[in-house]
Amino acid sequence: MYKQNFPENLKYSYIYIIVFLDLVGISLIIPVLGTHLRSIGASHFQVALLSSTYSALQFLSGTFIGALSDKYGRKNILLLTLSICALAYFVLGIIKSFVLIAVVRLIQGCVKHTQLLCKILINDIVPPEQQTAAYGCMNGFAALSFIIGPIVGGHLMEKNEGFYILACCTAIVFLLNVLVIWLTVPNTLVILNPKTLNKNIKNSSPFNDLLEVDWKECWPAFSLKMLGAASMFAYYNSVSLAIKEKFSLSPSEAGYTGAIQGFTGGITGFSAGSIEHLFMFKNPFSKCYYSFFLLGTGFCTLALSPTVTIFTLALIPITISSTLLRGYNNEILYEISSVDHRGLIAGAGASVTAISRFISPLLCGLTMDIFGSSSGFILSAIFAFAGAFLSKMLSKKSKND
């Protein structure tokens, strides 16, 4: 159990504010980071390598950051990691060396786990029957941030010293988030089971906790999380090029498709609690099955769409299903996690996502070189239908249990 000391009227709305500010800051600068790196002489390979290395460090550090939050509290780790990121973004705006920028980005890759820690906070404080709605609201605010951030960032980037201005703005947003966390996030303390208290005192290192988790129980949630992330990252890696090559859209026209996704994701996230009641079953694996199937169907439609109108409409079921999947997968993940190791298991789940983020772009790039730009959507559909198949098998197994 967790001790909580925060005003009842605040509830957990502050988590959504933290998520929103975090992703607004990210979406301000990340979409133009590659362009900035190219402007200072970095090659395409160097830009891609830095992105992949960042993902690899997210994989390595996710479990450790989650475990640290179990030991020292979510609030303390959030304050520490976001403060480091705020300083790092300010430094990014000053330095012009690719090597130094790479060092700063790799430091960020080790500590930037705000979304992970916010998901753990939801599981800490929200009653189980309300968690789907809470995750939906979190995803809704996340989607809205990606409508605002890229638009503002694009305009700022066009000014003189645009990247420096963007880096400073991002740092300010992160510092504002630090203030929000300081004022609103409760100091949650894990109360360990008395039977394991003495053992945890003797073995207080997060690394020792790795041996105490029954990882065999985690593989269904981790597998579904990896397949869902793989399908979406393959999509993200191919959509811009596919739109340009298939429909010859300008960057501003292509931006409207992103706005539609953000708007749809926002509506879906805020409506997740209501959508939950439409299901005639409570098994989260069954809900994942239908969501994965809808996701795969949407990707197939993208690959085969003859007009930009059909292409844009296909983004709606993709956004709806991917938003719901994140909530359902978190529901499965936290059902199997004990209070003592909740952050550790959530961190491991984030590391699984980082694996997909590292591998999917490479597979997608190879597929698109061989079969064309639309084949990236087919790869996404394969991952999604694999997730649907696995969800169906796990649903039958859980019913038998």
pLDDT digits (tens, 9 = 90+) for 94-119: 998 999 999 999 999 999 999 888 88
% of the chain surpassing 90 pLDDT = 23
The pLDDT assigned to 94 comes to 93
Residues spanned by CATH 1.20.1250.20 within the chain? Answer: 10-188, 214-395
AA identity, residue 146? F
Q: Which superfamily does 10-188 belong to? A: MFS general substrate transporter like domains (1.20.1250.20)
Distance CA 191, CA 67 (A): 15
Q: Which residue type sits at 361? A: P
Tabulate helix, strand, coil % of the chain (nearest 5): 85, 0, 15
Provide the pLDDT for residue 139: 74
Fold of 214-395: Growth Hormone; Chain: A; (1.20.1250)
Share of the chain above pLDDT 70, in %: 75
Q: Check residue 5 and give its pLDDT.
A: 38
What residue spans of 185-307 are helical by DSSP H? 194-202, 206-209, 219-247, 251-270, 272-276, 284-304
Taking the CB of residue 102, how many other CB atoms lie within 10 A of it?
A: 17
What pLDDT band is residue 197 in, cutting at 50, 70 and 90?
A: very low
Beta carbons of 364 and 73 less than 8 angstroms apart: no
Positive or negative, the CA dihedral 160, 162, 167, 173 is: positive
Cα separation of 289 and 224, whole Å? Answer: 10
Radius of gyration of the chain (CA): 21
- Residue partners of 65: CB distance under 8 A and separation at least 6: 77, 81, 111, 113, 116, 117, 343, 347
**Across residues 388-400, what is the average pLDDT?**
80
Confidence of residue 210 (pLDDT cuts 50, 70, 90): low
Global pTM reads 0.67
